Amino acid sequence: MSTRDASQDSPSLFDAALTREVPSVLEPSWNEKGTDKLAKDFVRWCFSLGGDFRNSPDVTNLRYWAQKTKSKIDESEELQILAMARPLFFKRIEQLTRKAEPSN
């Protein structure tokens, strides 16, 4: 048996097929994707009540929306959803303001 044959038979430390996939701490987990989606849906609802009326992205409206849509949200998730929803809300307000401004 030559060294060439031995290297083919023994597994390499860098062999991807033998190592378990370790999740990256930088990638969002499935739960974060869920709260991100909930935040976007909540902001969409805040703007869905008519052209001249907006619901604010606060905890009372979030709880009402969650009850109405039968979404299961823990208290810890409420803070995460609101933290994501507020910037989205203000970005949407800014977009609507730009649309409404007359162009020169």
Q: Does the pLDDT value for residue 5 go beyond 80?
A: no
Between 77 and 17, the higher pLDDT residue: 77
pTM of full prediction above 0.75: no
CA distance linking residue 4 with residue 68, whole number of Å: 67
* CA atoms in the 13 A half-sphere facing the CB of 35: 17
Query: 10-68: per-residue pLDDT in tens?
Result: 655 555 454 444 443 334 444 446 888 899 999 888 888 776 677 888 999 999 999 99
Q: Does the pLDDT value for residue 2 go beyond 70?
A: no
For residue 103, the SS3 value is coil
Pick the range with the lowest mean pLDDT from 6-10, 63-67, 70-74, 87-91. Answer: 6-10
One-character DSSP codes across 9-62: HSPPTT-TTTSPPPPPTTSPPHHHHHHHHHHHHHHHHHTTT-TT-----SHHHH
Cα-Cα-Cα-Cα dihedral of 90, 82, 45, 30, to 10°?
Answer: 120
CA distance linking residue 43 with residue 86, whole number of Å: 8
